Chain A
Amino acid sequence: MKVRTGEKENTATLVKAVLFLAALVSLTIASLLYFKMRAVVAGDMEKQEYTHYIRHYAFIADNMENNFWEEVYQGAKERGEETNVYLEWFGSSVAVKYSKKERLQSAIAAKVDGIVLEADGSMEMLELIDEAVENQIPVVTVMADSYGSKRQSFIGIASYNLGMEYGRQIIRISTKETKKVLIIMNDDLDDNSKNMILSGINETILNEGNHLTLDIEPMNVSNDSTFGLEETIRDIFMDTDNQPDIIVCVDAQGTISACQAVVDYNLVGKVDIIGYHITEAIGSAIQRNVLSSTIVVNSRQMGINSVDSLNEYIETGYVNDYIVMDVDAVTAGNVREYMKDAAK
């Protein structure tokens, strides 16, 4: 009996020892696991698994700060994700700010699978596009085309249509006192586009607003120098003798600058502005009646179309040569709907 008690005690000791050992090991493992977790959170240096894409497209447009292009890019990028294509705003990660042409050159050298390009009518651009196509890189131009180039497709607003819409807006807000209409045109637009827009405006006013006697004056603004656009617009308002009654902006950046200048020079109600594109700032300007109206194109859809066109060309070898995007006018009456979209 006594011996059994002794054995029981021995077993108890053994059990205790084993429990202690288990506690020890589990504590150690727990601490180490905890540490591992913390360490991974603290310094994630492990090679991550990235999504693999089947193609790599380069997106080359004027600049990233531009709201319009930002939206086009986002639309294209999302479409790319859906179709397993990596879309890169080419040159955005480089320390030097390269021009569009330089970026196009690099994209060709980098042998990307496709290029979405905001082209212009210059000869160099045309040559570069042709070089890309010769190197089996399909090019889709967006918004601004390069006529005569070997680009696969163009997605854009017909400039004449745009001019017609501007014309309609000018007629809508013009009174008998309205004399001078200034149309601020960005250098990004090629001459052809500029002419098309102008003729669109002129012909619309001639056809639909023949009761008005308007002096329509186009103004070219260089976008090459920093803050050039902003300063040029301010200069217009400084010249009090020669102030226009209506200012038409054909790009988003110009629209925002003009709105700000009108407010700063206390000319709200005296100078009407017709803008381009819609952002939160532009929308709120319409709501505050600083901006009479703005012409919008579905920029996201534009991006989506560009990627789709490239995909289509690469997969089938054929694609529409020209895809036209519709334009709409946003006024105080319908700004809410567009604001929601913009907020998205």
Chain B
Amino acid sequence: MLQNRAGRKKERYISIQTKLILVFFTTTSIVFAVNIYMYMSFNQMMERIDTVYISNADFNNLQNGLNQVQVNMAEYLNSKSSDSMEQYFRSEEEFAAMIRKLNDAVVGNENMIMEKNIRRMSESYLELTERIIEAKRGRNVEKYKVLYEKASQLYSCINTYIYSLNNKQFQNNSENYSALLKSLRYMEVVNMAILCMVNLLNVALAVILTRGITRPLKHLAEAANQVAEGNLDIEPTEAESRDEVGVVTRAFNQMVLSIQEYIERLKKSLELESAMKEKELMMETHLKDAQLKYLQAQINPHFLFNTLNAGAQLAMMEEAENTYRYIQNVADFFRYNIKESRESVTLKQEIELVDNYVYILNVRFSGEIHFRKNVDESLTHVQVPSMILQPVVENCVNYGIRNIDWEGCIELSVYKEEDRICISIQDNGIGMSEEKIRKIMNSRLREADLEQNSNGIGLDNVIGRLRLFFGMEEVMEITSPGKNMGTEVAIFIPYKEKEICHV
């Protein structure tokens, strides 16, 4: 079935070359045929003209033949030589053959009747000459003389007849000749007219036939122009012809369709990709959330807190005031960790934790650290992630002022700066190198770089949580003027008036 259809399709396909060849072949063969016909009829005409005077020539020959017979007979009668006799017989035979070609029927035409008369008279004449020859041979002088007289008379009579008929024929032939010439000239005119006509019609035919070839091409060109201008939304061009143009048209239609489909597919895949990216981002956020929770869980020393609480009660019972205060501070410090294991706390709670921490350190290191606070109380209600200040202060103590010869000092300032709140922790320790600051800011400080006595929460952790919490990059700035000239860690949080007033 399919093969059959393909076969039919193949049958229907006619290439442009074939079509053009057909067109040219048809037109040229018409012209050729007409030309051939004209040439042939022209030739025929020329042949007829050539044969016009043939009858005259025939009659001249006839006359000559008759003459020969008469002359040869007379010659024989004069000489009686076998040579002349032979000649006579030859000429007689020739003449007899000639007269046999003449008309012998009684028909209603004067010339034909004349021809018949000539034939019959010639026959009589030949009979006579035969008798003369016989008489001559038989030496019948009287008889052959009389017969010769008679034959001569008949000879001249036949001659006159032939001459007359020849004349008549010549007249006829001349008329025919001029008539033929006339029709020849007429034929030339007709031939020219036919040729002109055929040529004109041929041109028209070629135009009609080639239009069938060029029209689909024109349509295709228009459609292609539209596509070139960017208008892909066009009607499919009809593939009317069964040639190469048809093939190209169908391919063009298919191409336009394919382009449309491709654009559609591209659009869809772009949409899909952006959705995927969104999902990926969500996943990342969730992961960060989880990480935050995990980090908070890391610094949850439950057990230590309970133990310390027991110690504080013991100091109270023994009335060791300082010990009790110390243990109470330590307990508060750890309780904060348990209690504030939620996501956000107020800045004030954070500052209290720093107070606890500095007290504990001062007890440990016998009041080495001078801690000053310069806090704008109106800004302490802002929500911040928990455990952000204490690691910074711990950092100041561990790396800034631990091993210095002079008196260590830490200053905490909270103030408003344009549209943000700035929390600044400044020490007068050994300072920090540029490289180290860059490493901290880019969260590249590895465990190995940290000293053993750190309680685990590094600055990179603080920075990461601040960034996630506030959704901005500029959350911390570390500046150090130089070696032994101290360090300042500034934390920036966005200032939101509403939030503050509401609280």
Interface residues of A (CB under 8 A from B): 2-3, 5-7, 9-10, 13, 16-17, 20-21, 23-24, 27-28, 31-32, 34-35, 38-39, 42-45, 48, 50-56, 86, 88, 93-96, 98, 102, 105-106, 108-113
Contact across chains for A34 and B107 when beta carbons are under 8 A apart: no
**Inter-subunit contact B183/A20 (CB<8 Å):** no
**In the complex, A27 Cα to B190 Cα: how many Å?**
11
Q: Which residues of A contact B45 (CB under 8 A)?
A: 39
Whether the Cβ atoms of B240 and A3 lie closer than 8 Å is yes
**Interface of chain B: mostly helix, strand, loop or mixed:** helix
A13–B211 CB distance below 8 A: yes
Contact A42 to B117, CB < 8 A, known contacts A51-B107, A93-B164: no
Contact of B194 among A6, A28, A94 (CB under 8 A): A28
Closest B residue to A3 by beta carbon equals B238
Residues of A near B160 (CB, < 8 A) are 94-96
User: Least Cβ distance of A314 to chain B in Å?
Assistant: 13
Q: State A93–B180 Cα separation when bound (angstroms).
A: 26
9 contacts between A and B (CB under 8 A): A2-B238, A5-B238, A17-B208, A20-B208, A27-B194, A28-B197, A44-B176, A86-B106, A93-B164
Given contacts A34-B190, A106-B117, contact A45 B212 (CB under 8 A): no
Interface flag for B375 (CB, 8 Å): no
Quick one: given A34-B190, A39-B186, A109-B120, are A51 and B113 in contact (CB under 8 Å)? Answer: no
User: Which listed residue, A43, A56, A109, touches B113 by the CB 8 Å rule?
Assistant: A56
**In the complex, A45 Cα to B184 Cα: how many Å?**
14
Partner of A13 from B114, B157, B183, B212 at Cβ < 8 Å? B212
The chain B residue sitting closest to A54, CB to CB, is B106
B116 beta carbon closer than 8 Å to chain A: yes
Report chain B residues within 8 Å CB of A106. Answer: 117, 121, 154, 157, 161
- Check A31–B212 contact: CB distance below 8 A: no
A50 and B107 contact, Cβ closer than 8 Å, known pairs A39-B187, A95-B164? yes
Q: Are A111 and B123 in contact (CB under 8 A)?
A: yes
B124 close to A16 (CB less than 8 A)? no
A35 touches B113 (CB 8 A): no
Instruction: Assess whether B117 is in contact with A110, with CB atoms less than 8 Å apart.
Output: yes
Chain A interface, >50% SS class: helix
| Also in contact, A53 and B106, with CB within 8 A (given A17-B209, A20-B205) | yes
Is the C-beta of B182 less than 8 angstroms from some C-beta in chain A? yes
Kindly report which residue of chain B lies nearest to residue A30, judged by CB atoms.
B194
Whether B238 contacts A31 by the Cβ 8 Å rule is no
Given contacts A20-B204, A23-B201, A38-B183, whether A31 and B161 have CB atoms under 8 Å apart is: no
- A112 to B114: give the CA distance in the assembly, Å: 12
Q: Lowest 6 CB-CB distances: which A-B pairs, in order?
A: A6-B240, A43-B179, A50-B107, A109-B124, A2-B238, A51-B108
Per the bound structure, the CA–CA distance linking A248 and B76 in Å amounts to 57
- CA A88 – CA B113 in complex, angstroms? 8
Which residues of chain A are near B239, meaning CB under 8 Å? 3, 6
Task: Indicate whether A28 sits within 8 Å of B179 (C-beta atoms), given known contacts A3-B238, A17-B209.
Answer: no
Instruction: Kindly list chain A residues whose C-beta atoms are within 8 Å of the C-beta of B197.
Output: 24, 27-28, 31
Question: Which chain B positions have C-beta within 8 A of A98?
Answer: 157
Report the bound CA distance from A21 to B26 in whole Å. Answer: 9
Kindly identify which residue among B105, B121, B153, B193 contacts A52, using a CB–CB cutoff of 8 Å: B105
Residues of A contacting B105 with CB < 8 Å? 52
- Which of B109, B168, B211, B238 is most buried by chain A, counting CB atoms within 10 A of its CB? B238
Residue B34 is within 8 A (CB to CB) of chain A in the complex? yes
Query: Given A38-B183, A39-B183, A93-B164, does the pair A111, B120 have CB atoms closer than 8 Å?
Result: yes
| Contact among B164, B179, B205, B208 with A94 in the assembled complex (CB-CB below 8 Å) | B164
Select one of B48, B108, B161 contacting A45, CB under 8 A.
B48
Is B30 interfacial (CB 8 A cutoff)? yes
**CB neighbours of A109 from chain B (8 A):** 120-121, 124-125, 154, 157
CA distance A31 to B195 in the complex (A): 11
CA distance A230 to B157 in the complex (A): 30
Q: Which residues of A contact B241 (CB under 8 A)?
A: 6, 10
Q: Mark B194-234, 1 if CB is under 8 A from A, else 0.
A: 10011001101100110110011000000000000000000
A45 and B238 contacting across the interface, CB-CB below 8 Å: no
A88 CA to B277 CA, complexed, in Å: 129
Which one of B34, B113, B211 contacts A86 once the chains associate, using CB atoms below 8 Å?
A: B113
Within 8 A of A (CB), among B25-45: 26, 30, 34, 37, 41, 45
How far is A93 from B116 in the complex, measured between Cα atoms in Å? Answer: 13
Q: Which of B41, B108, B163, B182 contacts A53 (CB 8 A)?
A: B108
User: Is B167 close to A, CB under 8 A?
Assistant: yes
User: Bound state CA distance, A88 and B106, in angstroms?
Assistant: 11
